[in-house]
Amino acid sequence: MYWESRQAPLIAFLAVVLGIASCNSFEDRYFAFRLSESTAVPAESVQLIPVRRSEFEIPLYGFKIYDSVLVAWQAVKDFSLTACSLYSGNTLVHLCRRGRGGGETLTISPYYHIVDGVVELVENSRFRYFEINIPESIKKGQTIFDRTVILQTDNSPSTYNTILVGKDSLLCYDAKFNTISRKLAGIPGFSMYDLKDGSLIEEYGIARDASVKLKKKSPLSLGTLFRSDDCLVPESHCLGLAFYYFPAIAFLDYETGTIRGVKIEGVPEFNQMKRFLYFRGIEYAGGSIYLHYVGEPQNDDLSSEIHSKILKMDLSGRIEKSFELDDLYKSMEYGNGRLYLSKASDDYLYEIDLKKLN
């Protein structure tokens, strides 16, 4: 009895400490910012069956939508961009083919954005930012550049995400060891550049330390651990990030440099021994965030069915609605008041009218 009475306070203390460590380990070990209290995914969900559109002549990987044009990134042959008709699937023009000549590039990032008919893209091998005019390129049958800027760095970085914020500021994300600059060396994060002269403006660290230890048999690597998809929320001057391998969403305010995050409840915890994919897309439209979630229900065994959902989130990080998809989809993009999805099993494009998600 004496031993039990003496040990009880110690056991209680250890329980509190372990509880705090357990609650904080997710944030403290991986991210340079805190995650807010868990956001619950509604238990009830409505099933969605997207409408199948045209079949395309190219694989729909890393595609973007502009008006009646679909642009897709191609890595199989020559690391190029191809513009296709959204309605027929036919190829309209091949953009920035591999090479060193005019209108050619060496290694381009698979992550890019299209704003008002202009593709915003980075060539990793030369760390060169450039803009391609889609209507003019289609009209003339060749790549037409609107702007080219050499970004200033001492290294040869591999950027994963790039996005133009405002007219002359560019955010470049290195999810691995951040070879873009010395300040964030070894720490995944964003570097902001001034496109008037290519100079570095500011940097924002995403991870606490890139030397997070992964177990030897982990299927993940440091190069993939902090990969994310993004969307721009202009009126809130922030960038929304959906992480591939973490059940978390982050919002980077690129005017103040602050970052806030939300951990999604009701899905499996991050496990570095599983290559478990959480999000395959994040889009902003009509004041809401739309997340493409692919994963397993909480506490299910390894044989459980994989779920594919679209989650509707408000800008505070609260999940408002959950929609179950009828099949597995690999990509999601917004355009023309619709969400467009593609599958790994075919080259068709599928669409969902946003009115069905309100």
- pLDDT for 77 equals 54
CA 191 – CA 122 distance, rounded (Å): 13
CA 300 → CA 111, 253, 294, 304, 348, distances in Å? 33, 36, 14, 6, 31
- pLDDT for 103 equals 58
- DSSP, collapsed to helix, strand or coil, labels residue 223 as helix
Determine how β-strand 248-253 pairs with β-strand 238-243. Answer: antiparallel
- DSSP, collapsed to helix, strand or coil, labels residue 55 as strand
Backbone phi, then psi, for 260, in 5-degree steps?
Answer: -125, 155
CB 215 within 8 A of CB 273: yes
Tell which residue, 284, 337, 278, 289, has the closest CA to residue 311: 289
- DSSP, collapsed to helix, strand or coil, labels residue 138 as helix
* pLDDT one digit per residue (tens) for the chain, 358 residues: 433 444 444 434 333 333 444 445 565 678 889 888 877 777 666 778 888 888 888 888 778 999 999 998 876 555 678 899 998 889 999 887 665 656 566 667 667 888 888 988 887 777 788 888 999 999 999 888 888 898 887 665 566 678 888 889 999 887 766 555 566 666 788 888 999 999 988 888 888 765 577 888 888 887 788 888 999 999 899 999 999 999 999 999 998 989 999 998 888 888 888 888 899 899 999 999 999 998 765 544 444 567 789 999 999 999 999 898 988 888 899 999 999 999 878 888 999 999 988 8
Q: At 326, which amino acid appears?
A: D
CA 58 – CA 346 distance, rounded (Å): 10
- pLDDT for 148 equals 86
- pLDDT for 230 equals 92
Domains of the chain listed by start with CATH number: 35-357 (2.120.10.30)
Q: What single-letter DSSP state applies at residue 28?
A: H
CB 224 within 8 A of CB 245: yes
Burial group, residue 119, by CB count within 10 angstroms (0-12, 13-18, 19+): buried
Tell which residue, 148, 198, 197, has the closest CA to residue 172: 198
Give per-residue burial for 295-334: e unless 16+ CB within 10 Å, then b.
bbeeeeeeeeeebbbbbbbeeebebebbbebeeebbbbbb
CA 196 to chain centre: 26
Torsion over CA of 100, 105, 106 and 107, rounded to 10 degrees? Answer: 170
- Radius of gyration, alpha carbons of the chain: 22
Torsion over CA of 346, 347, 353 and 354, rounded to 10 degrees? Answer: 90
Q: How many Cβ atoms from other residues are within 10 Å of residue 5's Cβ?
A: 8
CB 87 within 8 A of CB 340: no
- pLDDT for 27 equals 59
CA 313 – CA 247 distance, rounded (Å): 14
Q: How many Cβ atoms from other residues are within 10 Å of residue 216's Cβ?
A: 5
Q: At 19, which amino acid appears?
A: G
What is the DSSP annotation of 164-194? EETTTEEEEEESSS-TT-STTTTS-EEEEEE
CA 113 – CA 135 distance, rounded (Å): 15
Backbone phi, then psi, for 137, in 5-degree steps?
Answer: -65, -40
